[in-house]
Amino acid sequence: MSSRLAGYLVATSVALTVACAGPSLAQDAEPEVTLRFQHFVSPLSANPSHFMGPWAEAIEEQSGGRIAVEIYPFMQLGGAAPSQYDLIRDGAIDGGWVIPGYQPGRFPEAEALELPFMTTKSGEEASRAAWRFTQEFLMDDFADVHVIAAHMHGRGLIHVDGPAIQEIADLEGLRLRGPSRPATLLLERLGATPVGMPVPAFPEALARGVVDGGVITWEMSPSLRLDELVQSHTDVAGDRSLYNLYFIWAMNREVYEGLPEDLRAVIDANSGMMASAWAGRAHDIGDADGRAAMAAAGNQIATLSEDVTEEIRALGEDVTQAWIDDVSARGLDGAALVEAARRYVAEEAGTGTVPLTD
């Protein structure tokens, strides 16, 4: 076994031990309702630390201890990350974190938010736009669950087990992990060999040499041990993210509707725009921490030149037009979806509250 793979397995075991230390609350009185939520990443990563955990605490406190929320990382309640939506819908779990893009083609309208250079580099700003877009276009798609929040992450970067990317030609032939259909389409257009995989599979794929790198955020870098598994991290120039990823935080509909009215009100008070912005802000906090950790490890951190960024942006426009043509052929108004996503992003630009570090 390679030292990198062994280190990854040890780190995962340690994080799992921390996660299993107990549920998120200790109440004196027995709760009336216990909600079991599940996600697929380390409990030490940004969203669980800065959104999921505090959200659970808020629900417990505001319900006077009548609701207990247990948060299970690493898919401990069963299933795989791509099946999370169905697990919630079918009642196998009460709620959880979903990346609709892990099921390519199932929720095509959501992909408009994931297109190249669509969002700013602020997860909070992008998430405010995502909630508005979700309200207009996606609630029917998610009608069989109860959506609490819809959000995006912060900037997406290229992480490579090799020197930082300087030109598009440097991507030629690299096997790079992509999280969604728009991301893999862009990687392919850039000359890389995209390998679609959910985030839990990424570090082991790196450790085994299955991929040469991938696109992911700063905030996930420490929990995935990218300080050891890659050598460089490359961002595009400007205020727009190379790509982004759309998430929902959702509950089983029957469980939500079965709550007493006053307890539903507690969930509602921690839902919608405020929860979406909160989730996005968690990623921005994590991005600052993740970048600092990679810098402290001595990894190479680079930003592409304006000229190279413009070349990539042009290829990204090709991807966007191809996406519009594809979804329009399936009966959707692709151009209208892109226009609406761009409008919401533009209107929410500047609303972020966490300073971004370049």
Per residue in 30-50, pLDDT (tens digit) is 999 999 999 999 999 999 999
Q: How far apart are CA 259 and CA 257, in angstroms?
A: 6
Joined tokens for residue 350:
């500047």
Q: How would residue 79 be classed by pLDDT, with cut points 50, 70 and 90?
A: very high
- Model confidence pLDDT, tens digit, residues 144-165: 999 999 999 999 999 999 999 9
- Model confidence pLDDT, tens digit, residues 343-355: 999 999 999 999 9
Q: How would residue 29 be classed by pLDDT, with cut points 50, 70 and 90?
A: confident
Joined tokens for residue 308:
């190279």
Give the per-residue pLDDT at 357. Answer: 81
**C-alpha distances in angstroms, 216 versus 179, 213, 223?**
8, 9, 12
Q: What is the pLDDT averaged over residues 170-191? A: 97
Joined tokens for residue 265:
């009100």
pTM for this structure?
0.91
Phi, psi of 151 (to 5 degrees): -150, 170
More confident residue, 115 or 357: 115
Q: How far apart are CA 93 and CA 219, in angstroms?
A: 26
pLDDT over 70 (residue 234): yes
Q: What is the pLDDT averaged over residues 176-199? A: 96
pLDDT over 70 (residue 18): no
More confident residue, 119 or 27: 119
> What average pLDDT is seen over the chain?
93
pLDDT over 80 (residue 5): no
Give the per-residue pLDDT at 28. Answer: 59
Q: How far is CA 70 from the centre of its chain?
A: 21
Query: Quick one: what percent of the chain has pLDDT higher than 90?
Result: 91
pLDDT over 50 (residue 24): no
Which secondary-structure segment (H or E) carries 7? helix 3-19
- Alpha helices (H) in the chain, listed in sequence order: 3-19, 46-47, 53-62, 84-90, 123-137, 181-189, 202-207, 226-229, 253-257, 261-269, 273-296, 306-329, 334-348
Q: How would residue 7 be classed by pLDDT, with cut points 50, 70 and 90?
A: very low
- Model confidence pLDDT, tens digit, residues 253-285: 999 999 999 999 999 999 999 999 999 999 999
**DSSP for residue 94:** S
Joined tokens for residue 322:
């191809």
- Model confidence pLDDT, tens digit, residues 200-224: 999 999 999 999 999 999 999 999 9
Give me the half-sphere count of Cα atoms (radius 13 Å) on the Cβ side of residue 10. Answer: 7
Q: What is the pLDDT averaged over residues 65-93? A: 98
